[in-house]
Chains A and B, each alone.
Chain A
Amino acid sequence: EAQVTQNPRYLITVTGKKLTVTCSQNMNHEYMSWYRQDPGLGLRQIYYSMNVEVTDKGDVPEGYKVSRKEKRNFPLILESPSPNQTSLYFCASSQYPTRVYTEAFFGQGTRLTVV
């Protein structure tokens, strides 16, 4: 079954404690991205990746890091989480053949609370 898997689904952590949210897709997609969703603001892009070892900032990258060492995985790293990073996070992937993007597949979301 084609899917994007995020873990964990729920996480409560304390300010400053490094954490990683994992994202894995089984569709051999080139394009992967991370979004955060906040009430009244909708979904905003944090980082994206066009392919292995190719990543770039989205609209709200501050306080986040990503890596793309393998095609299937695109972890989101919060080196020193702060309460303003409390949000619902989504990973997504899509195919990227010759600059034509296809349907986006989303993970189930990670609800993060930083206290």
Chain B
Amino acid sequence: KNEVEQSPQNLTAQEGEFITINCSYSVGISALHWLQQHPGGGIVSLFMLSSGKKKHGRLIATINIQEKHSSLHITASHPRDSAVYICAATAINYGGSQGNLIFGKGTKLSVKP
């Protein structure tokens, strides 16, 4: 079992739809990251959060520490949002080292015009 699980694995949406990607984790964490990987391959950090909710433009990330669950929401989705979204946890004392990122397998989002 992976320590960080994402769902769904693939997601196709129509432009304008509200999108939710889920992430569950089973390890102790100090932070949860949402990353975006575009078809060109580069990875950018969207959010890092350890509690509550963060918002940036049309993107919203939430985390529930008690339930060990985080969600990434995209409002009014657009074809340019098409990318792979990756959830990653900054683990506490994972593999003997603090700070290592544990990654989910990613969610491939395709937004159709």
State the A residues within 8 Å of B (CB).
31, 33, 35, 40-45, 48, 50, 56, 58-59, 88, 90, 92, 94, 96, 99-106, 108-109, 111
Contact = CB atoms under 8 A, between A and B. Distances in A.
Contacts, number: 63
Contacts of A105: 45
B44 A31 contact: no
Nearest to B96: A56
A94 B30 CA distance: 14
Contacts of A58: 95, 100
A109 B43 CA distance: 8
Interface string B3-19: 00000000000000000
Q: At the interface, is chain A mostly helix, strand, loop or mixed?
A: strand
Contact of A106 (B43, B97, B100, B104): B43
B105 interface: yes
A31 B99 contact: yes
Given A106-B45, A108-B42, A99 B104 contact: no
B43 A90 contact: yes
B27 interface: no
A94 B100 CA distance: 11
A102 B30 CA distance: 10
